[in-house]
């Protein structure tokens, strides 16, 4: 193999990885996910960290007890976080390929941090 070609090829791969990393960083910073409670009383949006970015409550939500409302907000927030994890997984699979180590690591990290909810939280949200 020609050493000049090998160096040019390596430099092109480094540039490509750098571009992917920059694009991923920009997309992650903009990532948000929204979930609405089953009754539509609560809407929660989380940012790329899973933190609360927006909370909307209807007048009906304000008629609920404090305990009931807090349970609905938490369950809705957890669903938004789980949706964020799926969205991030799809994003990194698109950028790096579904079988890549990078996609597996990033997608797995979000999925582990924000797992999908089981039925109990969803049932509490239907009151």
Alpha carbon distance 39, 71 (integer Å): 13
What are the residue boundaries of the structural domains of the chain, listed by start?
28-124
Crossing angle for the helix pair 3-30 and 66-96, nearest 10 degrees?
160
> Which parts of 2-118 are beta strand (E)?
32-36, 42-47, 52-57
Q: What CATH fold (topology level) applies to the domain 28-124?
A: Ybab; Chain: A; (3.30.1310)
Its pTM stands at 0.82
Closest of 51, 124, 42, 58 to residue 84, by C-alpha: 51
pLDDT of residue 126: 36
From first to last of the 127 residues of the chain, give the pLDDT tens digit.
678 788 888 888 899 889 999 999 999 999 999 999 999 999 999 999 999 999 999 999 999 999 999 999 999 999 999 999 999 999 999 999 998 999 999 999 999 999 998 754 443 433 3
């Amino acid at each position: 193999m020609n050493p000049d070609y090998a160096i040019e090829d390596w430099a092109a791969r480094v540039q490509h990885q750098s571009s992917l990393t920059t694009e991923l960083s920009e997309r992650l910073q903009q990532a948000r996910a929204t979930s609405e409670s089953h009754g539509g009383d609560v809407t929660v949006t989380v940012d790329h960290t899973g933190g609360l970015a927006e909370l909307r409550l209807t007048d009906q939500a304000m008629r609920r007890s404090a305990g009931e409302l807090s349970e609905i907000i938490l369950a809705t927030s957890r669903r938004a976080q789980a949706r964020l994890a799926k969205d991030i997984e799809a994003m990194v699979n698109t950028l790096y390929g579904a079988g890549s180590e990078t996609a597996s690591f990033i997608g797995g990290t979000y999925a582990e941090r924000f797992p999908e909810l089981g039925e109990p939280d969803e049932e509490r949200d239907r009151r």
